Amino acid sequence: MKSRIAEQIKIAAGVDFSQIEIESWIEKPKFSTMGDFAFPCFRLAKEFKKAPNLIAAEIAQTFKLKEVERTEAVGGYLNFYLDLPLYSAKVLKEVIDKRAGYGQKDLGKGKSISIDLSSPNIAKPFSMGHLRSTVIGNALANVTEKLGYKVIRINHIGDWGTQFGKLITAYQKWGSEEQVKTSPIAELHKLYVYFHEQAELNPSLDDEARVWFKRLEDGDEEAVRLWEWFRKVSLEAFSAVYEKLNISFDSFNGEAFYNDKMNDVIAMLEDEGLIEESEGARVVRLDDEGLPPCLIQKRDGATLYATRDLAAAFYRKREYSFEKSLYVVGNEQSLHFKQLKAILKKLNILWAEDLVHISFGMMLKDGKKMSTRKGKIVLLEKVLEQSTALAAEAIEEKNPNLKEKQQVAEAVGIGAIMFHDLKVFRQNDVHFELKDMLRFEGETGPYVQYAHARACSILRKAAVKDSSFSNSKVAPASFGEEERAIVMKISAFEEVIEEAFAEWDPSKIAKYAIDLAQLFNQYYAHTHILNELDEEVKAQRLLLLESITIVLKESLRLLGIQAPEEM
């Protein structure tokens, strides 16, 4: 609707501004009494050399659009009041006809966007600290696909680096093959933590670890055998978590995949004269970018994240021809990605700006960062089990006769964890508190899911089938202000999806779902639906409810969360 209003403003005002620019200026008034949309005519004052209130009055005289019932010029603003029955009928029919396809656009036209997400480290537990990259990246992938892009989900597994030297050292000194086979991740993590405790007392252990990692890089048979074993058991454990989260990947190419691809990058840097010696190590200086030098190779010849990520960037561009390459990685890696892009620019790589760091805050427990090294972690798999068990208890209490209780408990329990993360603007920290996540009231996943299930329940009682309104000619003539708020919220879905994509911010979808659920609950509390005597009015209200269920379900799907029809 904003687009159509902008088109008519352009015609009525006779200005040279583009329709898209005018559309970006159109606002949503704070109160419905001020209209459904508003255009600030201050934007045209310089062009027209007139007072904004006069411009508003002049545009109002010639503005014509079928869905707009009336316009009103107030203090430099031109307010638009929609014809509610006409507009509602149009919006709701579109929702019913398109169903899950509502809000879908072809902005991407099939172009590729790669998304580097999750990326846990081998031989370490999948903790709550890994959740953020996983669910934020998955939600952005869903949103990106919704807008017509081809998405490549990449799980850049941390399967290389000095930590493997530490782990191999710890296993050789204190490990038991039998114990590792019995409980691989728990035992390997215990060895990793114990290594750091002992290294504080005996720093020479760090030297031993460096030697083992160099042996691994050089292809030492024993080092490679242990590394492959640690990687295999870790990926098996990770797959169980991803299955619970219903998240899949197109590539598990981790850091080790680029071992044979880094020499080409180093040669390229050498050819351009960008590599310098610094205390025995090799660096690329970035003084002109206001950044510290980027370490490419250590003194012992071992490679680093930057070398590997440069190789990965070139590989992904060749392999996927990406329009954008997204890295969903924490705020603390901001310097790394600035250095990465700066080096690519020095190499005159035109697509350097297409690399985007989607940064996010930390997951905090008791106000502190969770640390794998110090053993202060909360295992994600355990949390998902606990949240599912708590959801099952709540379902048993509220609806003991519910069919498929376990499946619903998993959808609610796991969805609660994901929603709690995604409702927060990604750059802010998230505080881990299980009870807060599972509340059925307030801004939670279960609250949105329950609103969806409640609306589905009403439709079931009314014997409404999925296709019952597909060719409906019902015009919602009885709609008033409560319905207006819901219709306007539903019609904003497409815009919210585009905003979430433009700002790489899935919290916009989560907040939208909360708002729509709240509007539905308010409406349900004050409006007769099933016991409405006027059959035409009843049909109109059921039409509205079915539209709500479609949009709530699709909102949750974009976040990677299920929407049970019964709870």
Question: For 195-245, what is each residue's pLDDT tens digit?
Answer: 999 999 999 999 999 999 989 988 999 999 999 999 998 998 899 999 999
Amino acid of residue 174: W
Of the candidates 152, 158, 194, 154, the residue with the CA atom closest to the CA atom of residue 173: 194
Confidence band (pLDDT; 50, 70, 90) for 466? Answer: very low
For residue 184, the model assigns a pLDDT of 87
Q: Residue 309 has which token pair?
A: 């990520």
For residue 464, the model assigns a pLDDT of 63
- As a residue count, the chain comes to 567
| CB proximity list for 442: less than 8 A, separation 6 or greater | none
Between these two residues, 503 and 125, which has the higher pLDDT value? Answer: 503
Tokens 């949750």 -> residue: 556
Q: Which residues pair with 242 in a beta bridge?
A: none
Give 380-558's CATH code, choosing from 3.30.565.10, 3.40.50.300, 1.10.730.10, 3.30.1780.10: 1.10.730.10
- Give the mean model confidence (pLDDT) for residues 109-136: 92
Q: How far is residue 147's CA from residue 106's CA, in Å, rounded to a whole number?
A: 5
Q: Distance of alpha carbon 513 from its chain centroid, rounded?
A: 14
pLDDT at residue 437 greater than cutoff 70: yes
Alpha-carbon Rg for the chain, nearest whole angstrom, is: 28
Q: How far is residue 268's CA from residue 474's CA, in Å, rounded to a whole number?
A: 66
**Interval 355-371: pLDDT, tens:** 999 999 998 877 777 65
**Interval 126-156: pLDDT, tens:** 888 889 999 999 999 999 999 999 999 999 9
For residue 309, the model assigns a pLDDT of 96
Q: How far is residue 170's CA from residue 181's CA, in Å, rounded to a whole number?
A: 16
Share of the chain above pLDDT 70, in %: 96
Would 2-82 and 380-558 be classified into the same CATH topology?
Answer: no
Q: Residue 509 has which token pair?
A: 């979808």
Strand 324-328 relative to strand 355-358, pairing: parallel
**Interval 257-290: pLDDT, tens:** 999 999 999 999 999 999 999 988 999 999 999 9
The continuous run of DSSP H or E covering 337 comes out as helix 334-346
Q: How far is residue 399's CA from residue 567's CA, in Å, rounded to a whole number?
A: 7
Instruction: Evaluate whether 438 touches 391 at the Cβ level (below 8 Å).
Output: yes
Between these two residues, 475 and 29, which has the higher pLDDT value? Answer: 29
Return the DSSP state at 258: G
pLDDT at residue 468 greater than cutoff 60: no
pLDDT at residue 465 greater than cutoff 60: no
The continuous run of DSSP H or E covering 153 comes out as strand 150-154
Return the DSSP state at 41: G
**CATH number, span 2-82:** 3.30.1360.70
**Residue ranges of the domains in the chain?**
2-82, 380-558
Q: How far is CA 32 from CA 4, 79, 367, 477, 563, in A?
A: 20, 10, 41, 18, 30
- Give the mean model confidence (pLDDT) for residues 502-522: 98
Tokens 């003084």 -> residue: 287
- Give the mean model confidence (pLDDT) for residues 421-436: 91
Strand 294-297 relative to strand 150-154, pairing: unpaired
Average pLDDT of every residue of the chain: 92
Return the DSSP state at 49: T
| CB proximity list for 221: less than 8 A, separation 6 or greater | none
Instruction: Evaluate whether 140 touches 100 at the Cβ level (below 8 Å).
Output: no
Amino acid of residue 341: K
**Interval 277-325: pLDDT, tens:** 998 899 999 999 999 999 998 887 666 889 999 999 999 999 999 999 9
Q: How far is CA 547 from CA 102, 466, 486, 541, in A?
A: 10, 10, 10, 10
Instruction: Evaluate whether 357 touches 333 at the Cβ level (below 8 Å).
Output: yes
Looking at 14-51, list the stretches that DSSP marks H as alpha helix, in order from N- to C-terminal side.
19-25, 45-48
Q: How far is residue 42's CA from residue 510's CA, in Å, rounded to a whole number?
A: 33
Q: Residue 552 has which token pair?
A: 């709530």
Maximum Cα–Cα distance across the chain: 86
Q: How far is residue 22's CA from residue 47's CA, in Å, rounded to a whole number?
A: 13
**Interval 32-81: pLDDT, tens:** 889 999 999 999 999 999 999 999 999 999 999 999 999 999 989 999 99
For residue 371, the model assigns a pLDDT of 53
Strands (E), 359-436: 363-365, 368-369, 430-431
Phi, psi of 125 (to 5 degrees): -65, 150
The helix-helix angle for 481-491 and 507-526 (nearest 10°) equals: 160
pLDDT at residue 537 greater than cutoff 70: yes
Amino acid of residue 533: L
Q: How far is residue 215's CA from residue 194's CA, in Å, rounded to a whole number?
A: 22
The continuous run of DSSP H or E covering 358 comes out as strand 355-358
